[in-house]
């Protein structure tokens, strides 16, 4: 447990070594430093897990203070780390999945000239996320929060010579800033209310009945949620995530699986003591989650870019997590976060492997197809990922998604449950659509120019590892004689959450719910199979009916265009006005005017200084006479 | 008494006029000395009139300061003459704004 600081220090050290000395190091060593630091951090996290398991379940581990950071009257903030089941789960996911992505990157980025810069930032990203999850107060969390935003900017714009990558990086950063603004105001309000930003102190104070008015709790939690909406890409701030595909594929995997987007879910789960006091906020969280899940999944239906399909899938799955958190099933949300980290890292890395096989840059699924025989390993792991995402037993996605739907249903959110169920259908369809388009059918790439080849072992092993995790991850939530491993592990953290929902599940039994969601998933897969393998062509009438929907979806609901015309364009006009009229005319005019005035006055006064001594003497004499006369007259 | 004071005033006026109208630095310098001595005369006559030695003591101070000032002033004038080949104060107008 005392080793916890190493979990933070190792990735930071790796980042510094590669960032400062990387130019002079051989590529092999850079890879070792980057992977080694994260790998070691993972091993230490495992050690911490076992230490934690050795303690009795309800034993809270006090935060470890590393050093004082800010200490002024009324505000004292330490750099201190909180190791409890929730943060331990997060550091395991971050370092574990992060480590596999690092290893994969060694192969994927091997031809890039900026090898050391890439790994330096990748390590920094991991470090930032670890700061975020290990912080024991909101201020340090916010530091990690912003660091993560910075790293996403750096890595999305890694190939900054491409204008589209630079624009995507800027978009990610700016959209995140909008959410962070709300988050920051939320922090101010927290501090004003409680006089501290420490988790434990705040939650303790909030737990006292009637200590916190519901209105205050609602405002605080909604503001904090605004930050989560930005970071975890929910409506209305999800637009940055699909564009973030401009970064290297392993970066997408890292952003989507281990770091960054999970921050919002983690933050909501961490502050569940506050959210439980604000039922309205909880409903907002759940509704935003459900609507985002549906909307993003529907966009993914028609997108032809393999990475963007996965990106919208991430947005959709994050919606599930917020849905879970919103209905009070925080551990279910954290479980889906974990399982999604496995699945999505697997899918992204497999997609990267497909791109690698086709020469590196091709992401258009219309130019793939028939790759099953050519790259069998990539095919296998992608299929596992796609099936897991669709929620097929016994893969991990089945357990986590079903759990969320079940919690939504048993907590009487039937409408949200229906949305979630429909989204599950869409999910199964678009995942299998991506799979069929990529691996089945006739090859649609240029067979003369492109010779697909399987990826090197250094890329395949992480894929196999993630595939294994995806297959066996379900054991985390298999009830085994009334004992659910992850639930038991997390229960001390979520002790305050009422566990009453399950009792009044009258309408449908647990088994029926599972059967329904499995059937839905299979239906989705079946439709995808019909359309993309059997070549089923919908009739003319059906096509006419759905044409407007299709156009709408293909345009991604025209949200980007809407934001452009409603926010970006007026903002630009205002800036234009401020720059040319306000700044140039008024402000510059004022400043230049003062300067000109002083210049003129100086020019006039200059004449007095003639340089003739007699003039000066005459002035002295006149002055003296003046004083004398004044005296005499008095 | 008033005769002395009138003499002192006349001497001071001559000195001041000399400073204002003459162009030769040496003459200007002498005029300043004249003004100083006019003031000295006023001091001495007041001291005698009022039976107070303070006036005479101050005259000594003025003499000492004047002596030092003459040394410095003459040195400056000599240096100016060496560099500019003139002691006409109207030609020495580097401070003109």
One digit per residue, pLDDT tens: chain B, 97 residues?
Answer: 789 999 999 999 999 999 888 888 899 889 999 999 999 999 999 999 999 899 999 999 999 999 999 999 999 999 988 988 888 887 877 777 6
**DSSP at A62:** P
- Is A608's CB within 8 Å of B89's CB? no
Q: Which structural domain range is residue A600 located in?
A: 559-633
How are the residues of chain A apportioned to helix, strand and coil, as percentages rounded to the nearest 5?
75, 5, 20
Could you give the C-alpha distances from A132 to A263, A312, A316, A332, B81, in angstroms and in order? 8, 24, 23, 21, 80
Secondary structure string (H, E, C) spanning A239-278 = CHHHHHHHCCHHHHHHHHHHCCCHHHHHHHHHCHHHHCCC
The b/e string for A498-534 (b: 16+ C-beta within 10 A; e otherwise) is: eeebeeebeeeeeeebbebbbebbeebbebbbebbee
Distance from CA of A69 to the nearest CA of B (A): 57
**Dihedral angle at the C-alpha atoms of A217, A222, A225, A227, nearest 10 degrees?**
-110
Say how many Å lie between the first and final Cα of chain B, rounded: 46
Calculate Rg over the CA atoms of chain B.
Answer: 16
- Is A612's CB within 8 Å of B89's CB? yes
User: Is B39 an interface residue toward A (CB < 8 Å)?
Assistant: no
A545, A569: one domain: no
User: Is position A501 within any domain?
Assistant: no
User: Is B85 an interface residue toward A (CB < 8 Å)?
Assistant: no
Does the pLDDT of residue A618 top 70, yes or no?
yes
pLDDT score, position B74: 92
User: Is B1 an interface residue toward A (CB < 8 Å)?
Assistant: no
A546, A581: one domain: no
Q: Is the peptide bond before A394 cis (omega within 30 degrees of 0)?
A: yes
A398, A512: one domain: yes
**What is the per-residue DSSP string for A517-581?**
HHHHHHHHHHHHHHHHTS-----HHHHHHHHHHHHHHHTGGGHHHHHIIIIIHHHHHHHHHIIII
pLDDT digits (tens, 9 = 90+) for A7-55: 888 999 999 998 888 888 888 888 898 999 999 999 999 988 888 887 7
The b/e string for A316-343 (b: 16+ C-beta within 10 A; e otherwise) is: bbbbbbbbbbbbbbbbbbbbbbbbbbbb
- CB neighbour list of residue B11: distance below 8 Å, 6 or more residues apart: B34, B35, B37, B38, B41
User: Is B90 an interface residue toward A (CB < 8 Å)?
Assistant: yes
A490, A613: one domain: no
The SS3 assignment for A135 reads strand
- Is B97's CB within 8 Å of A610's CB? yes
User: Is position A376 within any domain?
Assistant: yes
Nearest residue on chain B to A617, judged by CA atoms? B20
- Substitution target from A614, A616, A618, A619 for chain B, most B beta carbons within 10 A: A614
Nearest residue on chain A to B96, judged by CA atoms? A611
A338, A455: one domain: yes
Q: Is the peptide bond before B95 cis (omega within 30 degrees of 0)?
A: no
Does the pLDDT of residue A584 top 90, yes or no?
no
- CB neighbour list of residue A120: distance below 8 Å, 6 or more residues apart: A14, A15, A16, A18, A19, A22, A34
A154, A249: one domain: yes
Distance from CA of A570 to the nearest CA of B (A): 53
User: Is B34 an interface residue toward A (CB < 8 Å)?
Assistant: no
C-beta separation of A493 from A84 below 8 A: yes
Out of B20, B95, B97, closest to residue A614 by CB: B20
Distance from CA of A604 to the nearest CA of B (A): 10
- Residues of chain B with C-beta less than 8 angstroms from the C-beta of A608: 97
User: Is position B97 within any domain?
Assistant: no
Query: How many CB atoms are closer than 10 A to CB B77?
Result: 18
- Substitution target from A617, A619, A625 for chain B, most B beta carbons within 10 A: A617
* DSSP tally for chain B: helices H, then strands E: 3, 0
Could you give the C-alpha distances from A624 to A524, A618, A620, A629, in angstroms and in order? 105, 10, 6, 9
pLDDT digits (tens, 9 = 90+) for A434-472: 898 888 888 887 777 777 888 888 888 989 998 998 888
**What is the per-residue DSSP string for A79-125?**
EEE--SHHHHHHHHHHHHHHHHHHHHHHHHTTT-TTHHHHHHHHHHH
Pick the residue with more confidence: A74 or A618? A618
In this predicted structure, which of A143-147, A347-351, A562-566, A601-605 has the lowest mean pLDDT? A562-566
| CA nearest to A291, candidates A326, A267, A262, A334 | A326
Does the pLDDT of residue A239 top 60, yes or no?
yes
- CATH number at A627 reads 1.20.5
**DSSP at A448:** T
Measured in degrees and rounded to the nearest 5, phi and psi for residue A196 equal -155, 165
- Residues of chain A with C-beta less than 8 angstroms from the C-beta of B90: 612
pTM: 0.78
A580, A517: one domain: no
Distance from CA of B26 to the nearest CA of A (A): 13
User: Is position A168 within any domain?
Assistant: yes
pLDDT score, position B62: 93
The SS3 assignment for A134 reads helix
Could you give the C-alpha distances from A50 to A10, A40, A429, in angstroms and in order? 20, 15, 40
Measured in degrees and rounded to the nearest 5, phi and psi for residue A446 equal -75, 100
**What is the per-residue DSSP string for A173-231?**
HHHHHHHHHHHHHHHHHHHHHHS--BHHHHHHHHHSTTSS-HHHHHHHHHHHHHHHHHH
CA–centroid distance for A588 within its chain: 42
- CATH number at B54 reads 1.10.287.3510
User: Is B87 an interface residue toward A (CB < 8 Å)?
Assistant: no
pLDDT score, position A501: 42
Out of A606, A611, A617, closest to residue B20 by CB: A617
Distance (Å, whole) CA A315 – CA A416? 17
- Residues of chain B with C-beta less than 8 angstroms from the C-beta of A605: 97
pLDDT digits (tens, 9 = 90+) for B58-85: 999 999 999 999 999 999 999 988 988 8
User: Is position A225 within any domain?
Assistant: no
User: Is position B52 within any domain?
Assistant: yes
C-beta separation of A50 from A141 below 8 A: no
Distance from CA of A606 to the nearest CA of B (A): 5
A593: left (phi over 0), alpha (psi -120 to 50) or beta: alpha
Nearest residue on chain B to A605, judged by CA atoms? B97
User: Is B62 an interface residue toward A (CB < 8 Å)?
Assistant: no
How many domains is chain A partitioned into structurally?
3
User: Is position A202 within any domain?
Assistant: no
Distance (Å, whole) CA A339 – CA A59? 26
- Residues of chain A with C-beta less than 8 angstroms from the C-beta of B20: 614, 617-618, 621
- Residues of chain B with C-beta less than 8 angstroms from the C-beta of A612: 89-90, 93, 96
Does the pLDDT of residue A76 top 90, yes or no?
no
User: Is B67 an interface residue toward A (CB < 8 Å)?
Assistant: no
User: Is position B81 within any domain?
Assistant: yes
Average pLDDT, chain A: 85
User: Is position B96 within any domain?
Assistant: no
In this predicted structure, which of A27-31, A308-312, A574-578, A607-611 has the lowest mean pLDDT? A607-611
- Residues of chain B with C-beta less than 8 angstroms from the C-beta of A601: none
User: Is position B79 within any domain?
Assistant: yes
User: Is B20 an interface residue toward A (CB < 8 Å)?
Assistant: yes
Distance (Å, whole) CA A30 – CA A14? 9
User: Is B14 an interface residue toward A (CB < 8 Å)?
Assistant: no
A403: its two tokens: 């759990």
| Residue range A590-619: mean pLDDT, rounded | 87
User: Is position A573 within any domain?
Assistant: yes
A393, A474: one domain: yes
- Is B20's CB within 8 Å of A618's CB? yes
pLDDT digits (tens, 9 = 90+) for A159-188: 888 898 999 999 999 999 989 999 999 999
User: Is position A33 within any domain?
Assistant: yes
Could you give the C-alpha distances from A122 to A37, A385, A444, in angstroms and in order? 11, 24, 34
pLDDT digits (tens, 9 = 90+) for A250-279: 998 888 877 888 899 999 998 888 888 888
Confidence at A504, pLDDT banded by 50, 70, 90 = very low
- Residues of chain A with C-beta less than 8 angstroms from the C-beta of B39: none
Does the pLDDT of residue A503 top 60, yes or no?
no
| CA nearest to A557, candidates A369, A360, A301 | A301
A341, A444: one domain: yes
> Any idea what the Cα angle at residue A304 is, between residues A301 and A308, rounded to 5°?
80
- Is A617's CB within 8 Å of B89's CB? no
- Is A618's CB within 8 Å of B95's CB? no
- Is B20's CB within 8 Å of A611's CB? no
The b/e string for A618-630 (b: 16+ C-beta within 10 A; e otherwise) is: eeeeeeeeeeeee
Nearest residue on chain A to B93, judged by CA atoms? A611
- Is B96's CB within 8 Å of A610's CB? yes
Beta bridge partners of A364: A305
- Residues of chain A with C-beta less than 8 angstroms from the C-beta of B92: 611, 613
- Substitution target from B9, B87, B96 for chain A, most A beta carbons within 10 A: B96
User: Is position A209 within any domain?
Assistant: no
How many domains is chain B partitioned into structurally?
1
pLDDT digits (tens, 9 = 90+) for A220-238: 999 999 999 999 888 888 8
- Is B96's CB within 8 Å of A609's CB? yes
Nearest residue on chain B to A618, judged by CA atoms? B20
Out of B16, B21, B95, closest to residue A609 by CB: B95
Distance (Å, whole) CA B61 – CA A608? 34
C-beta separation of B85 from B92 below 8 A: no
Nearest residue on chain A to B13, judged by CA atoms? A621
A11, A147: one domain: yes
| Residue range A273-301: mean pLDDT, rounded | 90
| CA nearest to A3, candidates A95, A118, A125, A98 | A95
Q: Which structural domain range is residue B60 located in?
A: 2-91
């Amino acid at each position: 447990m005392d080793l916890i600081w190493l979990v933070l220090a190792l990735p930071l050290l790796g980042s510094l070594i590669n960032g400062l000395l990387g130019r002079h190091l051989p590529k092999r060593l850079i890879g070792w430093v980057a992977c080694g630091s994260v790998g070691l951090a993972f091993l230490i996290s495992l050690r911490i897990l076992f230490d934690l398991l050795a303690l009795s379940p309800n034993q809270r581990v006090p935060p470890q203070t590393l050093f004082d950071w800010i200490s002024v009257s009324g505000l004292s903030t330490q750099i201190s780390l909180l190791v409890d089941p929730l943060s331990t789960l997060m550091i395991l996911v971050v370092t574990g999945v992060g480590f596999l992505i690092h290893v994969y990157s060694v192969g994927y980025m091997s031809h890039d000239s900026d090898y050391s810069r890439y790994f330096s930032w990748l390590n920094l990203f991991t470090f930032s996320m670890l700061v975020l999850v290990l912080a024991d107060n909101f201020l340090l969390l916010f530091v990690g929060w912003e660091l993560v935003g910075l790293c996403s900017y750096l890595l999305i714009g890694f190939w900054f010579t491409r204008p589209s990558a630079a624009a995507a990086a800027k978009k990610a950063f700016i959209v995140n800033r909008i959410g962070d603004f709300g988050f920051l105001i939320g922090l101010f309000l927290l501090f004003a209310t409680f006089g501290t930003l420490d988790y434990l102190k705040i939650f303790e104070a909030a737990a006292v009945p009637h200590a916190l008015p519901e209105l205050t709790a609602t405002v605080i939690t909604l503001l904090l949620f605004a930050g989560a909406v930005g970071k975890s890409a929910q409506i209305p701030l999800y637009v940055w995530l699909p564009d973030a595909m401009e970064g290297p594929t392993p970066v997408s995997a890292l952003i989507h699986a281990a770091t960054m987007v999970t921050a919002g879910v983690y933050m909501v789960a961490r502050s569940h003591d506050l959210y439980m006091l604000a039922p309205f906020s909880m409903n907002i969280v759940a509704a935003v989650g459900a609507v985002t899940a549906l909307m993003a999944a529907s966009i993914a239906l028609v997108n032809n870019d393999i990475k963007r399909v996965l990106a919208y899938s991430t947005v959709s799955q994050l919606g599930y997590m917020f849905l879970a958190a919103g209905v009070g099933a925080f551990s279910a949300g954290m479980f889906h976060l974990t399982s999604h980290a496995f699945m999505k890292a697997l899918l992204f890395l497999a997609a990267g492997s497909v791109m690698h096989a086709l020469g590196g840059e091709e992401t258009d699924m219309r130019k793939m197809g028939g790759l099953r025989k050519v790259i069998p390993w990539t095919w296998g792991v992608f299929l596992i990922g796609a099936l897991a995402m669709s929620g097929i037993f016994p893969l991990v996605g089945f357990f986590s998604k079903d759990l969320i739907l079940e919690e939504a249903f048993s907590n009487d959110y039937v409408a949200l449950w229906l949305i979630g169920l429909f989204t599950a259908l869409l999910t199964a369809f678009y995942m299998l659509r991506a799979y069929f388009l990529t691996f089945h059918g006739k090859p649609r790439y240029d067979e003369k120019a492109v010779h697909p080849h399987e990826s090197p072992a250094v890329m395949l092993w992480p894929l196999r590892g993630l595939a294994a995790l995806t297959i066996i991850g379900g054991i985390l939530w298999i009830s085994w004689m009334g004992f659910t491993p992850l639930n038991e592990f997390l229960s001390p953290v979520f002790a305050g959450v009422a566990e009453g929902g399950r009792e009044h599940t009258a309408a449908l039994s647990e088994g029926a719910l599972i059967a329904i969601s499995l059937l839905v998933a299979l239906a989705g897969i079946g439709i995808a199979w019909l359309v993309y393998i059997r070549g089923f062509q919908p009739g003319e009438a059906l096509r006419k009916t759905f044409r407007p929907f299709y156009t709408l979806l293909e345009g991604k609901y025209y949200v980007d265009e809407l934001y452009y015309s409603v926010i970006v364009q007026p903002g630009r006009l205002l800036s234009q006005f401020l720059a040319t009229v306000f700044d140039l005319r008024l402000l510059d005019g004022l400043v230049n005017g003062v300067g000109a005035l002083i210049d003129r006055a100086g020019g006039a006064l200059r004449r007095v200084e003639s340089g003739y001594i007699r003039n000066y003497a005459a002035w002295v004499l006149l002055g003296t006479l003046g004083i004398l006369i004044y005296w005499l007259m008095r | 008494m008033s005769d002395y004071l009138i003499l002192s005033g006349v001497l001071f006026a001559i000195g001041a006029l000399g400073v204002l109208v003459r162009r030769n630095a040496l003459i200007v310098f002498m005029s300043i000395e004249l003004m100083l001595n006019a003031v000295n005369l006023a001091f001495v006559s007041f001291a005698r009139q009022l039976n107070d030695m303070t006036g005479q003591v101050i005259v000594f101070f003025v003499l000492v300061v004047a002596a030092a000032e003459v040394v410095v002033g003459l040195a400056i004038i000599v240096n100016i003459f060496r560099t500019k080949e003139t002691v006409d104060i109207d030609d020495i107008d580097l401070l003109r704004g």
